[in-house]
Amino acid sequence: MTRLGILISGRGSNFEAIADNVASGAIPAEIAVVLSNRAAAPGLDAARRRGLPAVCIPSKGLDREVYDRMVVEELRRRGVDLVCLAGFMRLLSAAFIRAFPNRILNIHPSLLPAFPGLDAQRQALEHGVRLAGCTVHFVDENLDSGPILIQTAVPVLDADTVETLSARILEQEHRIYSEALRIVIAGNYRIEGRRVVFKEAVSHQPSAIG
């Protein structure tokens, strides 16, 4: 069974959506650890309430290489074989990425490569785009880069605020992260350069995922 390591820094709603789908059997995996670089992350409490292993490794004041080594050690100790960044607000070092080749996923609240980095929803609103959305991608050493697995678009409405647009995108984040995990766990894809090619037709409207 695939063992997930979920890395968070805050609220943890993407983690919770994944945890719901793991609990229902829709994602054939187990959550080996939820790890935060911030002790105050509400997602850590949510993990504890669910009876899942929740670990804080504070990143403050540590060199990226030193910190990442500690995290990789913890993930290895827990037998993690697929890493999910879910609102983990740090760039990963080359050594971290080498430790889990093509086994680290991230979710970003924009249609990449548009609007990488912080405040993606605000960037989209201020740019005036008519379509916003979210992306699940493999992680490489650059920010919000790496081969794209799934994207979903949502409309931007004239009355939108950052909050209403973020909420519309978040609903889709919760759906596509689980769908991406099902694809990766099933192994029904190959990576060709920047492109992720599915071996069989993959539905983007899965029935099993809530």
Residues in contact with ligand GRF by CB under 6 A are 8, 10-14, 43, 86-87, 107-109, 170, 173
| Active site positions, annotated | 108
Distances (CA, A) of 7 to 35, 70, 201: 5, 13, 30
Nearer CB in complex with ligand GRF: 43/146: 43
- Helix segments in 6-103, DSSP class H: 13-23, 42-49, 64-77, 94-99
Give the whole-angstrom CA distance, residue 28 versus residue 109: 25
Closest approach, Cβ 199 to ligand GRF, in A, equals 27
12 CB-side CA count, 13 A? 27
Q: Decide whether 8 or 31 has the Cβ nearer to ligand GRF.
A: 8
Q: How far is the CB of 16 from ligand GRF (least distance, A)?
A: 8
Q: Take residue 28 and report the two structure tokens written for it.
A: 């054939």
Q: 108 or 168: whose CB is closer to ligand GRF?
A: 108
CB of 55 to ligand GRF, least distance (A): 16
The answer to whether residues 110 and 116 touch, using CB atoms and an 8 Å cutoff, is: yes
Q: With respect to ligand GRF, which residue has the nearer C-beta, 5 or 87?
A: 87
Task: Give the tokens for residue 74.
Answer: 């913890």
Q: Which is nearer to ligand GRF, 107 or 124 (CB)?
A: 107
Residues contacting 152, CB < 8 A, separation 6+? 133, 134, 172, 175, 176, 204
> Residue 137's beta-bridge partner residues?
106, 148
Provide the minimum distance between the beta carbon of 67 and ligand GRF in the complex, in angstroms, as a whole number. 19
CA distance 36 to 181: 20
Nearest distance from residue 173's CB to ligand GRF, in Å? 5
